[in-house]
């Protein structure tokens, strides 16, 4: 409102919307996120000019944002941007010279600016920040919440810092320009190599698709192999046994369109209309190619109007859809290739290539689905052999099992925990050699032997393991295995843990102070022809301490030694510390073990 009570309308500043200035601003790649280099400039201004607030403020057509800031009050400190209603710096862009205000409340240009009331801006000094062509992108400004007579030395210091800050902005823009030039050169090189790459892709397609038995990985590899070599973007539609789309995914050559394509694919799952070209291919098995196409093709073929706008964003100039066929010419999906306007239209050669890909993809997807079904059965069988953990007062328990990636067979990894009649907890973990049904059956036998041998007996754990040796030999259980057997009972200092290790990776102890140690005392394997003398070790878990038992799949990898894997695991435990819940700790360790070559079982217990 003005002094006479009438509403005052802000006068637009044309320079803010200058396309060249906005393009230069965008090339800095800066936004309302903190940037250490510019935060440093703001801190220098604050220290050298002794002001409570200093900003590196960049202004676009609608707002100002602060890649560098110090002293802003909340909520502006968290947002790091304001609307133009709170911007003094826009006037620096307008006048293209420094703006120095001892008391902003006295100046008609800014006295009604909301920054005075909301941000406490009273004294203001702003120096222009420019690009190489002299366009003002923003200002480096010093702000005080009370009137201030800026000295000549302070303004000279601010101007020097603004010059250095402008140099940093120009460097960012130059780097961006260099990257764009490099990309242009790379695009020219890729065009020269496109024919060779296309032939190489077809030659290696079967091997590439056969390198995984996971359906989603198969589809992802297929999509990335075709884009951008064969098309600007693609869709892969898989159907259920009734022929209904069960999932649509794809890839766009422009990463900035990834979200649009994901939304397009999600809507397409239920949005195919009666005249859809994809539905026609799924129904008839005959390919469809349109050398010239536009969004009208999408509009005719969908029941979801939103798809039309998305198609316009993604770009459509020509498209080609072929069936994905499995054994017996059964149609299990479709591949759709799309070129944006400006790229050449699809031709008969593209059609032959796409049909070849459809056949190879059908074989790979069919194998992946069969593998998935078999793997599910194997995992259910494996988990059915693993016990439910008991509830024990004063002891927190957690266990996990992770099968090896890309393998159907069940394995020989196992864990167990049960409570003795006297209240002691017996915990065990082991690994039977092999990855097949025989290994899993032997694992089940061994776990039952451990329970039968230990339950109700107060023998030392080394005697229990020695008895297990004799049982394996006497009952002629055909196995060589590793195991750790531990007895845990409360004592005055927490939990007393006594364990015997038969050739297994040693347990790890995570103390409440974050230190990690190895529970030494590894003995020979189970199932040897001449059972050895067994020994045990004992330690105490104070409240909050954790004992981790695990199989070698957690630390074993082809590209590193067991010792390196153990050191890596110790580092992960130390980094996690004792603050995580036991379940969260186990999940973190399994996440780090993703794509291991062997099964992983782990059993963790913590003193309450």
490 within some domain: yes
DSSP 26-63: HHTT--SS--HHHHHHHHHHHHHHT-SEEEEEEE-SSE
CA–CA distances in Å: residue 471 to residues 444, 446, 449, 474 = 14, 10, 8, 5
> Does any domain span residue 448?
yes
pLDDT at residue number 5 = 38
166 and 291 co-located in one domain: no
Exposed, middle or buried, 83 (CB in 10 Å: 0-12/13-18/19+)? exposed
Residues 6 or more apart whose Cβ sits within 8 Å of residue 255:
none
> Which CATH number belongs to the domain containing residue 265 in this structure?
3.30.450.40
> Domain end: 371, 402, 420, which one?
371
The DSSP output letter for 133 is T
pLDDT for 439 equals 67
Which residue range forms the structural domain that includes residue 428?
A: 385-607
- Whether residue 238 sits in one domain with residue 165: no
State the DSSP string of 205-255.
Answer: HHHHHHT---HHHHHHHHHHHHTTTT-SEEEEEEE-TTS-EEEEEEEESSG
539 occurs within a structural domain: yes
Nearest to 56 by CA among 29, 91, 85, 80: 80
Residue 478's pLDDT band (cuts 50, 70, 90): confident
Hey, what are 242's tokens? 């009734």
> What integer pLDDT is reported at residue 218 of this predicted model?
79
Based on the fold, state whether residues 478 and 602 are members of the same structural domain. Answer: yes
List pLDDT tens digits, range 278-301: 999 999 999 999 989 988 989 999
341 versus 559: the higher-pLDDT residue is 341
> Is 141 in contact with 103 (CB distance < 8 Å)?
no
Judge if 367 and 390 occupy the same domain: no
Residue 294: count other Cβ atoms within 10 Å of its Cβ: 14
- With respect to residue 380, please indicate whether it lies within any of the assigned structural domains: no
**pLDDT computed for residue 8 by the predictor:** 44
The CATH number assigned to the domain holding 437 equals 3.60.40.10
Asked whether residue 582 is domain-assigned, the answer is: yes
- Do 280 and 314 reside in the same domain of the chain? yes
Mean local confidence (pLDDT), 180-198:
71
With tokens 């637009």, the residue in question is: 12
* 407 lies in the same domain as 435: yes
How far is C-alpha 557 from the chain's CA centre?
22
Residues 320 and 438 in one domain: no
DSSP type of residue 406: T
- For residue 199, is it within any domain? no
- Determine which of 42-56, 89-103, 245-259, 429-443 has the lowest per-residue pLDDT on average: 429-443
- Does residue 171 surpass a pLDDT of 70? yes
**pLDDT for position 596:** 63
Residues 430 and 399 in one domain: yes
Asked, for residue 512, whether it belongs to a domain, the answer is yes
Residue 483 within any structural domain of the chain:
yes
Residues 399 and 267 in one domain: no
Tell me: do 398 and 309 sit in the same domain. Answer: no
CB neighbours of 164 closer than 8 A, spacing ≥ 6?
41
For range 237-252, the mean pLDDT: 89
Domain count, the chain: 3
Average pLDDT over residues 176-204: 72
Mean residue pLDDT of the chain comes to 88
Are residues 453 and 326 part of one domain?
no
Same-domain pairing of 166 and 308: no
Q: Give the tens place of pLDDT for each residue, 38-87.
A: 999 999 999 999 999 999 999 999 999 999 999 999 999 999 999 999 99
Q: Whole-model pTM above 0.85?
A: no
Which of 175, 198, 221 lies at the terminal end of a domain, its last residue?
175
Q: Considering 371, 397, 426, which residue would you say is the last residue of a domain? A: 371
């Amino acid at each position: 409102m003005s002094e006479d009570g009438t509403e005052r309308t802000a006068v637009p500043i044309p320079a803010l919307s200058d396309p060249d200035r906005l393009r230069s601003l965008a090339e800095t790649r800066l936004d309302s996120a903190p940037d250490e280099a510019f935060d440093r400039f703001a801190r220098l201004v604050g220290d050298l000019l002794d002001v409570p607030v200093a900003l590196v403020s960049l202004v676009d057509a609608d707002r100002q944002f602060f890649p560098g800031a110090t002293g802003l009050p909340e909520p502006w400190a968290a947002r790091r941007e304001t609307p133009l209603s709170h911007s003094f710096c826009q006037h620096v862009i307008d006048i293209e010279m420094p703006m120095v205000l001892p008391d902003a409340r006295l100046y008609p240009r800014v006295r009604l600016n909301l920054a005075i009331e909301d941000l406490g801006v009273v004294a203001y000094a702003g120096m222009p920040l420019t690009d190489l062509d002299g366009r003002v992108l923003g200002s480096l400004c010093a702000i005080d919440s009370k009137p201030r007579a800026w000295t000549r030395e302070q303004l000279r210091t601010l101007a020097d810092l603004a010059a250095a800050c402008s140099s940093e902005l120009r460097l960012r823009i130059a780097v961006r320009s260099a990257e764009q030039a490099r990309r242009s050169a790379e695009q020219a090189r890729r065009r020269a190599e496109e024919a060779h790459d296309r032939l190489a892709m077809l030659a290696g397609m079967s091997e590439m698709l056969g390198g995984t038995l996971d359906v989603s990985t198969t589809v992802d590899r297929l999509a990335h192999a075709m884009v951008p070599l064969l098309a600007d973007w693609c869709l892969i539609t898989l159907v259920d046994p009734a022929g209904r789309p069960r999932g649509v995914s794809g890839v766009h050559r422009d990463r900035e369109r990834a979200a649009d394509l994901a939304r397009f694919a999600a809507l397409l799952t239920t949005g195919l209309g009666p005249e859809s070209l994809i539905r026609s291919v799924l129904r008839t098995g005959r390919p469809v190619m349109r050398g010239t196409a536009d969004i009208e093709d999408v509009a005719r073929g969908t029941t979801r109007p939103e798809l039309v706008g998305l198609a316009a964003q993604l770009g459509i100039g020509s498209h080609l859809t072929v069936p994905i066929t499995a054994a017996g010419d059964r149609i299990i999906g479709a591949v759709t290739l799309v070129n944006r306007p400006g790229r050449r239209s699809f031709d008969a050669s593209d059609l032959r290539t796409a049909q070849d890909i459809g056949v190879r993809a059908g074989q790979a997807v069919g194998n992946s689905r069969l593998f998935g079904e078999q793997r599910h059965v194997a995992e259910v069988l494996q988990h059915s052999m693993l016990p439910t953990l008991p509830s024990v007062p004063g002891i927190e328990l957690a266990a996990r099992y992770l099968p090896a990636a890309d393998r159907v067979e069940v394995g020989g990894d196992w864990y167990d925990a049960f409570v003795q009649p006297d209240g002691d907890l017996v915990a065990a973990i082991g690994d039977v050699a092999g990855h097949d049904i025989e290994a899993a059956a032997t694992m089940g036998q061994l776990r039952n032997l451990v329970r039968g041998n230990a339950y109700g007996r107060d023998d030392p754990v080394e005697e229990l393991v020695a008895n297990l040796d004799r049982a394996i030999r006497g009952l002629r259980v055909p196995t060589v295995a590793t195991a750790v057997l531990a007895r845990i009972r409360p004592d005055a200092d927490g939990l007393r843990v006594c364990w015997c290790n038969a050739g297994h990776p040693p347990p790890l102890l995570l103390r409440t102070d974050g230190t990690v140690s190895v529970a030494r005392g590894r003995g020979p394997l189970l199932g040897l022809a001449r059972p050895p003398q067994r020994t045990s070790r004992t330690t105490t878990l104070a409240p909050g301490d954790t004992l981790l038992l695990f199989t070698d799949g957690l630390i074993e990898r082809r590209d590193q030694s067991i010792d390196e894997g153990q050191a890596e695991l110790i580092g992960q435990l130390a980094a996690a510390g004792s603050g995580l819940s036991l379940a969260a700790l186990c999940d973190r360790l399994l996440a780090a073990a993703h794509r291991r070559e062997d099964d992983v079982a782990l059993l963790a217990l913590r003193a309450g």
